[in-house]
């Protein structure tokens, strides 16, 4: 087990990109094959991660830790746990799909494939980084190829869309960079060590006031990426203009970086602030769920519809993360994968339609099921998966999230569950308008059903959709320990913060009491000219004693409280 | 005293010629005045006991480089100062430049006058220089202490030659 | 105990599910290449095997002592996360055995019928794929041993219903009806899923046995939690079983092929809600308020749907409303605590309603697709067998002894009278009267009187082939004999199902058995309900045979009421106006104004501000190098000035 | 002996004249010549300091500056020729690609 699988899997695509640099750009077939071989190889290399993953430890696995820039304590520290494992696999799997999906691109195929491969390295890197600096490097690295993919190979308004995408994301991540640097110095102040190492920083106890601001800084970076409700407007534009593979990657992986960021960074680093922000985030997530669904319902463009549905689905994920229990968290992680698969597939499907008839307007379709029965089957499966039909993947995640939310707050759960109704509305209505009814557009009479390549794209995803829906245990069992560990970690730190606050409050109360008594005693003393000092001193002593008593009592109560089953969680 | 006189004369010539370089309409005249400026500077170099530099100032600067200039001016037939006659698009450019120039002169003057120049004096007093010979000293330094920059300078020149050839040779595609 | 390769049939319960799903997968993947007979044989065999196995399982179960008639088999952990666990496991007990026999039995008959009915359709294999998948889901629904697994079946049947209603997807009305069915069902599922979550949070498990065991100790009689749980679950049942206010999808569902209407929208799927309520009877018994709600909704629906049925002219729609009404009866029974009566009615209803639908299908088939009763009439002589079987079905639903419907409906009414209130009984009795009336109206309009067929149809009309008639005959037989399983004096079904009621071990709840009712009371109730039925038939006879002009006159006289009833109380329109349209409009506003104008507008405004700043600063960029050089010089001078001043 | 400050002031004046020339002239060749003028001013300062500090380094620097100036002149003039061929002008205002 000495082979550095993670490093190989992460940097193989980059190597492929470099290889492609030396290939003549005219030889399109060769370029595509090389890229495909690299992607397949990468996927195969990353498979052992799944099979050799140890189920019973919350430690990071497949860890590699090499100093990089020693002066600043930056290291090449990578590893995965049950949370990142699946996102990593999802990324390498979907990158493979995306390269295969880009087979029909003829314009600058070499540059395109290079961008795709670099993008893959960036995305994989984000999920395995255990060093804040390294994380940030990968986080920004993947932005650039995506920017190019939308901007060069996109639709008519691609420049607008790509700049919007870039600026939005950048605006958030700059704040995060500031946050990272602040944490870096805080850590130095506390421990005297310059380090960006996440695992060491996890032990850092950030003051509550600072947590608030740092959480906000990270929040913007991640919330924009997710995207949460009011920050979502870049998403429809980027999706509509991006080429098919770009949309797939965007929906399936890039959005997950935001939610992953919350899980990996925001929660364990700022547990107190995370708890404080729950109402805000929950309401935003619920707003996203309902709003995204409603807006998706009336879209006229297929890609926009799917894009808004992402807003809705990611709302579930966010809600699940911020209820701080195991069902919610596992459901969220599973839902990230599910959303990656089903929405990714939906974008592939829309792309296939677009390739055939060069329009994405729902009104231009209708009756396709007659001409493309196999396509209709795949489309149906993905639609149902997106709706969350039991037996398919979407349901498992959605249900776990809802159970988690229900456990912590019934109102949230009831509101979020309305999303289940709405998702059926918009997806089925769209499906009806595209696939059912009579063919009205003469162009659609000549449509061909799926070819072999398209089969190869959709079949693996469909198999996964069924697998996760019917037997999600291999996934859930791999998450279990890590999620548990994460939650206890967050919870412990949160309790410490709470205790601190209580102590502070007690102290303030005690001080106030003491002051009040002193004033009273003084007044009394002034009235009684005799025994001036004796009386005051006695009063004061008494006050102090009483305050101390009160403090002790409070502390005892607090301790009893914390010993209480505050988290009845398993 | 004679030295001071010489300095004053050569200094005024230099300044006058420099002004002419700037304000002459015809580039050829500018070039000629620039040559004169350089020559008079060479005289000042001699006054500063830098004979070798003075010599190459005349030979390379006033000789080689300026010939190149004049050659180009002739080649391009720029003797008529046609474009300078047009109205300046940036009407504020000229006055503000001149005012700034004046301020700059005043400032430099103030700085130089205010500053007491200090520094570790070196070993090469005019006496030692005249003993060993200025040229010899320059040569010695070039091939000992400054041999590396010297070699780099040669590469630079080489690159410049190639660059000049390629630039001048290539027919730039009409836009 | 009979053994099969060394293990009891109970152990093979998984195969009951395996056969249909295998049939569905084979037909789905290979069906396109197979010939129609092969597809039909695969489809029917799968269900037939499931039925045979179900029967053996039933026999096996009979061999056990009544209190041990619960068999559970766990296959694997489906979802396990923290303390939440849902096991893919099946539970066989009297209730589920009755259901699987009914589902696979009626399902098998309808499969056979479908082979004949769908003969000319292009999507033959697709049809059987869906139908097998449906049977699978329905069997899963009734066999599941926990709420979440049941929910798979619950949604699975909804999906198949969606697919089969929209089977002729090129018809816009069909695809819309399918969508409507799914979405309305989703509204119900919203409640159902919340109910499951509440159960989990309350009991920390969702396994049937554990929940029902823990419920009486955990929950207070009539407490808030149990009331909420049962009400939420009942919302699911309302959606699935088409009760007020979520019944509107069922009439529209008649857009699907007629055998589908028979199987899904009459016999099996729509009764899932009843099954669920009976399955959770322990919880419902603990929540008297919920029971009242169930009874009232059931009773009101029974009456309401029956009144709509009075004025409809589409043969299938009349049957659809009658289905809604009959399910209302079942809920009424459950609501008064007579769970077994509910299940009994469910079973008999599945026989005679399937028969009626298949008969209607036969008529439609014979007339080449005509569904309007006003264009039928006098079919008796053209389609004698269909007529006879249809008559049997009609008598059964009207509640004439000794047909199946009589026993079950009578029992429901009796229970309503003894356990419920007079009001509830009144609702039921009046609905029964109307049922008898409109069913005979249908019969008379279709088969009797003079022919109103178009010339073309008249030349065309023919009796259906044997493959359609045999299922009709089988079902007709069941509709006659089916009632005797619950004949009060030898109440087989009562004693068989009794262990299921009250969690099997609870003696406190009496299993809906009738010992406390005196025989005299029983027989007088029988007389009353028979009288009601005959009265209904007589009125129909008066209006449609004796005096065919009367209906039109009455319609004219009570024009307002007639129009309202004819238009189904405008419920669809009201829903459209109050829910659907406002939602769509709000969404448009959200998109066009909130999203594009406000949120994105805000974002773009920020960009615009930056751009404007650039526009201003651009003025400093003249594009002349010397101008830039000037600013360099300026900068230099400023630096020198500053350094002079500062030093 | 003449105070070296005079030389420095002279150098400053020359530099300023050169700078003003760069700024106000529009003929590329003249601008170029003004740059040479500025270089010369710097050379003068170098030599002055070299004299004052009794060091040879300043002179060596001047030597290198001349080398660079020569190289620059060669390349710069070549560029001017190329531009002239292309645009038939050496007026810097007409070569304003920097304006958007």
For residue C620, cis peptide bond before it (omega within 30 degrees of 0) = no
Distance CA C95, CA C144 (A): 12
> Over 80: is that where the pLDDT of A48 sits?
yes
Q: For residue A24, is pLDDT > 90?
A: no
C172-203 vs C208-218: helix axis angle to the nearest 10? 50
- For residue A260, the model assigns a pLDDT of 93
Cα nearest neighbour of D53 on chain B:
B121
Q: How far is C602 from chain D (nearest CA, A)?
A: 28
Closest CA to A313 of A272, A357, A275, A344: A344
CA angle C450, C453, C456 (to 5 degrees): 140
- The closest of C330, C248, C322 to C297, measured between CA atoms, is C330
What's chain C's average pLDDT? 85
User: What pLDDT score was predicted for residue C7?
Assistant: 63
* Count of H-run helices and E-run strands, chain A: 23, 2
CA separation for the pair C29, C325 (Å, rounded): 39
Q: Which pLDDT score is estimated for C48?
A: 92
Residue C504: pLDDT band (50, 70, 90) is very low
Q: How far apart are CA D30 and CA D16, in angstroms?
A: 15
pLDDT at D100 over 60: no
CB atoms C623 and D99 under 8 Å: yes
DSSP run (H or E) holding D9: helix D4-24
pLDDT at A563: 47
pLDDT of C509 higher than 60:
no
pLDDT value of position B35: 93
Write the pLDDT tens digit of every residue in A308-356.
Answer: 999 999 999 999 999 999 999 999 999 999 999 999 999 999 999 998 8
Judged on CB neighbours under 10 Å (0-12, 13-18, 19+), A160 is middle
In angstroms, what CA-CA distances link C390 with A174, C259, C321, C469?
Answer: 76, 15, 17, 11
For residues C203-224, give the mean pLDDT. 86
Whole-number pLDDT of residue A278: 92
If we measure between CA atoms, which residue out of C420, C397, C375 comes closest to residue C321?
C397
Chain C: give the shortest CA distance to residue D24, in Å: 8
Q: How many helices (H) and strands (E) does chain B have?
A: 8, 0
pLDDT at C487: 60
Helix ranges restricted to H, A74-142: 84-101, 109-128, 132-141
CA neighbours closer than 13 Å in the CB half-sphere of residue A426: 34
Report how far residue C122's alpha carbon sits from residue C170's, in angstroms, rounded to the nearest whole number.
13
pLDDT of residue C510: 43
Spacing of C-alpha C609 from chain mean position: 57
**What is the pLDDT, as a whole number, of residue C519?**
73
Q: How many CB pairs under 8 A join B and C?
A: 32
- CB contact (8 A) between residue C623 and residue D96: yes
Is pLDDT above 70 for B88? no
Asked whether the beta carbons of B91 and D55 are under 8 A apart, the reply is no
- CB < 8 Å to C624, chain D: 92-93, 96, 98-99
For residue C409, the model assigns a pLDDT of: 85
On the question of pLDDT at A513 being above 90, the answer is no
Name the residue in chain C with its Cα closest to that of A412: C194
Q: Which chains are adjacent to chain D, needing at least 3 Cβ pairs under 8 Å?
A: B, C
Strand partners, A65: A77
Closest partner residue to C644 (CB to CB) among B89, B93, B107 is: B107
With helix as H, strand as E and coil as C, how does A149-182 read?
HHHHHCCCCHHHHHHHHHHHHHHHHHHHHHHHHH
What's residue C513's pLDDT? Answer: 47
Contacts of B137 in chain D (CB under 8 A): 56
Mean pLDDT in residue range A224-232: 89
d(CA C140, CA C149): 8
How far apart CA C90 and CA C296 sit, in angstroms, is 33
pLDDT at A565 over 60: no
How do beta strands A74-80 and C71-81 pair? unpaired
**Residue-level pLDDT at C194:** 93
DSSP D58-91: HHHHHHHHHHHHHHHHHHHHHHHHHHHHHHS--B
Mutate to test the interface with C, among D22, D25, D31, D94 (most CBs of C within 10 A): D22
Q: Cβ distance B14 to D14 under 8 Å? A: yes
Q: Residue A301: beta bridge partners?
A: A361
Residue B89 phi, psi dihedral angles, 5° rounding: -65, -30
**pLDDT given for residue B25 in this prediction:** 84
Nearest to A60 by CA among A8, A10, A6, A11: A6
Written as one string, the DSSP assignment of C388-435 is: HHHHHHHHHHHT-TTSHHHHHHHHHHHHHHHHS-HHHHHHHHHHHHHH
* Option in C618, C625, C630 nearest D98 (CB): C625
- Between A444 and B12, name the one with better pLDDT: B12
CB contact under 8 A, B163 and D78: yes
* Distance between CA atoms of residues A309 and B142, nearest Å: 74
Residue B3: burial class (beta carbons within 10 Å; 0-12, 13-18, 19+): exposed
3-state SS class at C570: helix
Q: How far apart are CA C156 and CA A110, in angstroms?
A: 46
Q: Neighbours of B (≥3 Cβ pairs closer than 8 A)?
A: C, D
In sequence order, the 6+-apart residues with CB closer than 8 A to the CB of D51 are B48, B49, B50, B126, D4, D58
Q: What one-character DSSP code corresponds to residue A242? A: S
**Is the confidence at residue C243, as pLDDT, over 50?**
yes
Distance from the Cα of D42 to chain C's closest Cα (Å) equals 16
Locate the chain D residue with the closest alpha carbon to B155.
D71
| Distance separating alpha carbons of residues A252 and A120, to the nearest angstrom | 12
Flag whether residue C637 sits within 8 Å of chain B, measured between CB atoms.
Answer: yes
pLDDT at A566: 43
For residue C512, pLDDT over 60 is answered with no
**C273 close to C235: Cβ distance less than 8 angstroms:** no
- In whole angstroms, give the CA distance from residue C422 to residue B85: 114
- The reported pLDDT for the residue numbered C508 is 38
Q: What is the mean pLDDT of residues A419-435?
A: 91
Digit-coded pLDDT (tens) for B16-46: 999 999 988 888 889 999 999 999 999 999 9
Neighbours of C22 (CB within 10 A): 18
What does the pLDDT average to over D63-90? 88
Could you tell me if A91 and A13 are in contact, meaning their C-beta atoms sit under 8 angstroms apart?
no
Question: What pTM did the predictor assign?
Answer: 0.81
Residue C537's region, left for phi above 0, alpha for psi from -120 to 50, else beta, is alpha
C641 at B interface, C-beta within 8 A:
yes
Identify whether the C-beta of residue C195 lies closer than 8 Å to the C-beta of residue C229.
yes
Bridge-partner residues for A129, per DSSP? Answer: A78
Task: Give the pLDDT confidence score for residue C10 in this predicted structure.
Answer: 80
Task: Find the mean pLDDT for residues D54-69.
Answer: 91
Percentage of residues in chain C with pLDDT exceeding 70? 95
Angle between helices A473-527 and A84-101 (to 10 degrees): 130
Chain D residue nearest residue C630, CA to CA: D23
**DSSP letter (8 states) at residue C30:** H
Q: Is the pLDDT of residue A15 over 90?
A: yes
* Model pLDDT for residues C138-183, shown as the tens digit of each residue: 999 999 988 999 999 999 999 999 999 989 888 888 999 999 999 9
| pLDDT tens readout for residues C3-55 | 555 567 788 888 888 999 999 999 888 888 888 889 999 999 999 999 999 99
Q: What is the pLDDT of residues C456-468, one digit of tens each?
A: 777 777 888 888 8
Q: Residue C561 contacts by C-beta under 8 Å, 6 or more apart in sequence?
A: none
Q: How many residues does chain C have?
A: 647
Q: How many CB atoms lie within 10 A of CB A238?
A: 30
- In angstroms, the separation between the Cα of residue B97 and the nearest Cα of chain C is 7
Q: Check residue C503 and give its pLDDT.
A: 47
* More confident position, A74 or B80: A74
* Chain C residue closest in CA terms to A397: C79
Chains C and B touch (3+ CB pairs under 8 A): yes
Q: Which chain B residues are within 8 Å of D44, Cβ to Cβ?
A: 41, 44-45
Q: What angle do CA A124, A129, A131 make, to 5 degrees?
A: 160
Identify which has the larger pLDDT, C49 or B121: C49
Query: Which are the contacts of C181, defined by CB distance < 8 A and separation ≥ 6?
Result: C158, C161, C162, C165, C249, C250, C252, C253
| pLDDT at site C506 | 39
B27 with D51: Cβ contact below 8 A: no
Q: What is the average pLDDT value for chain B, to the nearest integer?
A: 85
Q: Which has the closest alpha carbon to D94: D27, D15, D17, D3?
A: D27
C507 to chain D, any CB pair closer than 8 A? The answer is no
Q: What is the distance in angstroms between the Cα of C642 and the nearest Cα belonging to chain B?
A: 11
Query: Which of C18, C24, C31, C79 to substitute to test the interface with A, most A CBs within 10 Å?
Result: C79
Inter-residue contact A151 to A144 (CB < 8 Å): no
Q: Closest Cα to residue A267, out of A311, A218, A337?
A: A218
pLDDT digits (tens, 9 = 90+) for C325-378: 999 989 998 888 888 888 888 888 998 899 999 999 888 888 877 888 888 877
Helix (H, G, I), strand (E, B) or coil at A301: strand
For C628, name the nearest residue in chain D, comparing CA atoms only: D23
**Nearest 5°: phi and psi at A80?**
-130, 155
Q: Which of A233, A260, A397, A246 is nearest to A316 (CA)?
A: A397
Confidence class for position A402, pLDDT limits 50, 70, 90: very high
Residue A64 parent element (H or E): strand A61-69
- Write down the pLDDT at residue C6: 56
Interface test with D, best of B160, B162, B169, B173 (most D CBs within 10 A): B160
CB C357 within 8 A of CB C258: yes
Residue A72: the pLDDT is 86
Chain D partners within 8 Å of C622 (Cβ)? 99
Distance CA B83, CA B86 (A): 6
List pLDDT tens digits, range A247-265.
999 999 999 999 999 999 9
Give pLDDT tens digits for C399-435. Answer: 887 788 888 888 888 888 888 788 888 888 888 889 9
Which pLDDT tens digit goes with each residue over A449-499? Answer: 888 899 999 999 999 999 999 999 889 988 888 999 999 989 988 888 888
In whole angstroms, what is the distance from residue C550 CA to residue C415 CA?
36
Comparing A163-177, B113-127, C528-542, the range with the smallest average pLDDT is B113-127
d(CA C285, CA B52): 117
Question: Is residue A305's pLDDT more than 60?
Answer: yes
Would you place residue A569 in the very low, low, confident or very high pLDDT band (cuts 50, 70, 90)?
Answer: very low
Q: Report the SS3 class of residue C119.
A: coil
The predicted-structure confidence for A61-109, as pLDDT tens digits, reads as follows: 889 999 998 888 899 999 998 899 999 999 999 999 999 999 888 888 8
Contact B39, B62 (CB under 8 A): yes
Task: Say how far apart CA C313 and CA C375 lie, in whole Å.
Answer: 9
What are the phi and psi torsion angles at D89 (to 5°)?
A: -155, 155
Contacts of A389 in chain C (CB under 8 A): 155-156, 159
For residues C144 and C150, the answer to whether their CB atoms sit within 8 Å is yes
Query: Cis before residue A512, ω within 30 degrees of 0?
Result: no
Q: What percent of chain D has pLDDT over 90?
A: 52
């Amino acid at each position: 087990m000495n082979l550095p699988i993670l490093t190989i899997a992460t940097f193989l695509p980059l190597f492929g990109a470099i290889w492609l640099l030396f290939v003549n750009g005219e030889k399109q077939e060769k370029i595509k094959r090389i890229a495909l071989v690299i992607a397949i190889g990468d996927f195969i290399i990353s498979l052992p991660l799944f099979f050799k993953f140890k189920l019973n430890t919350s430690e990071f696995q497949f860890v590699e830790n090499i100093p990089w820039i020693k002066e600043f304590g930056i290291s090449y520290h990578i590893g995965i746990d049950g949370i990142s494992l699946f996102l990593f696999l999802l990324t390498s799997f979907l990158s493979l799909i995306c390269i295969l999906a880009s087979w029909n691109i003829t314009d600058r195929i070499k540059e395109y494939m290079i961008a795709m491969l670099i993008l893959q390295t960036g995305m994989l890197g984000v999920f395995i980084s255990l060093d804040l600096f390294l994380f940030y490097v990968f986080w920004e690295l993947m932005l650039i190829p995506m920017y190019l993919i939308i901007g060069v190979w996109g639709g008519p308004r691609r420049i607008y869309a790509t700049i919007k995408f870039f600026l939005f994301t950048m605006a958030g991540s700059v704040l995060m960079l500031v946050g990272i640097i602040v944490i870096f110095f805080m850590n130095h102040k506390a421990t005297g060590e310059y380090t960006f190492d996440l695992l060491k920083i996890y032990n850092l106890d950030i003051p509550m006031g600072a947590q608030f601001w740092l959480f906000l800084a990270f929040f913007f970076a991640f919330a924009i990426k997710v995207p949460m409700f009011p920050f979502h407007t870049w998403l429809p534009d980027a999706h509509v203009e991006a080429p098919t593979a770009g949309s797939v990657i965007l929906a399936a992986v890039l959005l997950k970086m935001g939610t992953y960021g919350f899980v990996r960074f925001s929660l364990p680093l700022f547990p107190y602030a995370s708890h404080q922000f729950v109402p805000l985030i929950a309401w935003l997530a619920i707003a996203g769920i309902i709003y995204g669904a409603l807006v998706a319902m009336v879209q006229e463009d297929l890609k926009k519809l799917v894009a808004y549905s992402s807003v809705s689905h990611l709302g579930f994920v966010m809600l699940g993360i911020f209820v701080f229990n195991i069902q919610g968290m596992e459901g969220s992680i599973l839902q990230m994968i599910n959303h990656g698969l089903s929405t990714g597939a939906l974008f592939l499907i829309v792309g296939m339609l677009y390739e055939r008839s060069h329009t994405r307007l729902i009104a231009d379709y209708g009756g396709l099921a007659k001409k493309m029965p196999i396509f209709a089957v795949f489309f149906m499966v993905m639609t149902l998966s997106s709706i969350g039909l039991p037996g398919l993947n979407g349901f498992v995640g959605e249900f776990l999230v809802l159970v988690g939310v229900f456990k912590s707050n019934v109102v949230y759960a009831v509101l979020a569950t309305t999303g289940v109704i709405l998702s059926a509305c918009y997806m089925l209505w769209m499906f009806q308008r595209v696939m059912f009814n009579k063919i009205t557009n003469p162009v659609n009479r000549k449509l061909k059903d799926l070819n072999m390549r398209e089969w190869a794209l959709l079949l693996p995803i469909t198999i996964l959709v069924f697998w996760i829906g019917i037997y999600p245990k291999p996934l859930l069992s791999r998450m279990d320990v890590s999620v548990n560990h994460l939650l206890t970690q967050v919870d412990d730190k949160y309790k410490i913060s709470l205790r601190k606050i209580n102590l502070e409050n007690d102290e303030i109360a005690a001080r106030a009491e003491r002051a009040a008594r002193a004033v009273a005693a003084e007044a009394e003393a002034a009235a009684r000219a005799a025994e001036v000092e004796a009386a005051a001193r006695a009063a004061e002593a008494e006050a102090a004693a009483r305050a101390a008593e009160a403090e002790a009592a409070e502390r005892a109560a607090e301790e009893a409280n914390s010993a209480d089953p505050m988290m009845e969680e398993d | 005293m004679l030295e001071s006189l010489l300095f004053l004369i050569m200094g005024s010539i230099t300044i006058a010629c420099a002004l002419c370089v700037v304000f002459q309409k015809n580039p050829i005249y500018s070039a000629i005045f620039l040559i004169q400026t350089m020559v008079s500077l060479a005289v000042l170099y001699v006054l500063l006991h830098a004979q070798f530099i003075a010599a190459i100032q005349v030979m390379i600067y006033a000789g080689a480089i300026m010939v190149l200039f004049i050659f180009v001016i002739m080649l391009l037939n720029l003797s008529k100062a046609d474009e300078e006659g047009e109205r300046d698009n940036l009407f504020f450019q000229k006055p503000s430049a001149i005012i700034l120039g004046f301020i700059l002169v005043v400032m430099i003057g103030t700085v130089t006058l205010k500053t007491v120049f200090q520094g570790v004096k070196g070993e090469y007093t005019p006496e030692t220089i005249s003993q060993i010979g200025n040229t010899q000293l320059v040569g010695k330094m070039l091939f000992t202490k400054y041999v590396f920059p010297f070699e780099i300078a040669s590469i630079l020149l080489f690159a410049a030659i190639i660059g000049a050839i390629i630039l001048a040779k290539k027919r730039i595609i009409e836009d | 105990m009979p053994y099969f390769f060394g293990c009891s049939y109970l152990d093979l319960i998984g195969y009951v599910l395996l056969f249909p799903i295998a049939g569905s997968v084979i037909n789905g993947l290979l069906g396109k290449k197979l010939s129609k007979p092969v597809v039909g044989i695969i489809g029917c065999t799968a269900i037939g095997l499931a039925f045979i196995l179900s029967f053996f399982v039933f026999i096996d179960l009979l061999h056990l002592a009544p209190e041990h008639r619960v068999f559970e088999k766990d296959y694997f952990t489906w979802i396990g996360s923290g303390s939440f666990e849902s096991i893919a496991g099946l539970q066989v007990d009297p209730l589920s055995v009755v259901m699987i026999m009914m589902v696979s039995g009626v399902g098998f008959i309808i499969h056979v019928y479908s082979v004949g009915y769908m003969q000319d359709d292009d999507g033959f294999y697709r049809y059987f794929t869906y139908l097998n998948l449906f049977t699978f889901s329905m069997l899963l629904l009734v066999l599941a041993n926990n709420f979440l697994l049941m929910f798979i079946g619950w949604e699975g049947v909804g999906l198949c219903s969606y697919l089969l209603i929209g089977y002729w997807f090129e018809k816009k009305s069909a695809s819309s009806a399918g969508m409507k069915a799914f979405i309305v069902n989703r509204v119900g599922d919203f409640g159902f899923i919340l109910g499951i979550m509440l159960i989990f949070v309350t009991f920390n498990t969702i396994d049937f046995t554990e929940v029902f065991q823990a419920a009486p100790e955990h929950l207070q009689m009539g407490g808030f939690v149990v009331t909420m749980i049962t009400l939420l679950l009942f919302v699911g049942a309302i959606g699935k079983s088409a009760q007020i206010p979520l019944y509107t999808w069922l009439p529209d569902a008649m857009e699907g092929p007629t055998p589908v209407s028979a199987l899904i929208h009459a016999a099996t799927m729509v009764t899932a809600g009843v099954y669920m309520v009976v399955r959770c009877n322990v919880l419902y018994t603990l929540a008297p308020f919920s029971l009242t709600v169930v009874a009232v909704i059931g009773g009101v629906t029974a009456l309401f749907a029956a009144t709509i049925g009075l004025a409809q002219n589409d043969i299938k729609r009349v049957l659809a409303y009658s289905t809604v009404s009959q399910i209302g009866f079942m809920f009424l029974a459950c609501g008064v605590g007579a769970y077994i009566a509910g299940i009994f009615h469910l079973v008999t209803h599945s026989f005679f309603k399937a028969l009626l639908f298949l008969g209607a299908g036969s008529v439609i088939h014979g007339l080449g697709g005509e569904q309007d009763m006003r264009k039928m009439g006098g079919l008796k002589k053209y389609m004698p067998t269909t007529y006879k079987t249809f008559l049997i079905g009609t008598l059964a639903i009207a509640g004439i002894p000794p047909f199946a419907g009589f026993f079950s409906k009578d029992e429901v009414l009796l229970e309503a009278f003894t356990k419920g209130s007079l009001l509830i009984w009144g609702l039921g009795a009046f609905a029964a009267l109307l049922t008898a009336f409109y069913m005979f109206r249908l019969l008379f309009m279709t088969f009797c009187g003079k022919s109103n067929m178009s010339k073309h149809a008249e030349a065309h009309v023919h009796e259906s082939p044997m493959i359609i008639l045999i299922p009709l005959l089988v079902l007709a037989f069941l509709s006659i004999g089916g009632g005797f399983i619950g004949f009060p004096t030898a109440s087989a079904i009562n004693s068989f199902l009794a262990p299921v009621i009250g969690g099997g071990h609870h003696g406190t709840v009496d299993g809906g058995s009738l010992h406390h009712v005196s025989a005299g009371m029983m027989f007088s109730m029988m007389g009353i309900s028979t009288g009601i039925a005959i009265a209904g038939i007589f009125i129909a006879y008066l209006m449609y045979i004796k005096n065919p002009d009367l209906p039109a006159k009455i319609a004219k006289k009570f024009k307002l009421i007639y129009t309202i009833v004819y238009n189904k109380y405008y419920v669809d329109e009201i829903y459209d106006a109050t829910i659907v349209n406002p939602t769509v409009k709000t969404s448009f506003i959200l998109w066009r104004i909130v999203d594009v104008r406000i949120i994105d507008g805000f974002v773009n405004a920020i960009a615009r501000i930056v751009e404007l700043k650039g526009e201003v600063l651009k003025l400093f960029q003249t594009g002349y190098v010397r101008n830039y050089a000037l600013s360099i010089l300026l900068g230099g001078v400023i630096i020198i000035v500053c350094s002079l001043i500062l030093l | 002996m003449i105070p070296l400050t005079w030389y420095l002031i002279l150098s400053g004046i020359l530099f300023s004249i050169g700078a003003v020339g760069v700024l106000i002239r529009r003929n590329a060749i003249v601008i170029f010549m003004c740059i040479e003028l500025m270089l010369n001013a710097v050379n003068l300062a170098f030599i002055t300091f070299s004299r004052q500090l009794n060091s040879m380094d300043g002179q060596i620097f001047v030597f290198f500056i001349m080398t660079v100036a020569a190289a620059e002149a060669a390349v710069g003039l070549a560029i001017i020729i190329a531009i002239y061929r292309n645009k038939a002008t050496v007026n810097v205002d007409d070569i304003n690609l920097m304006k958007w």
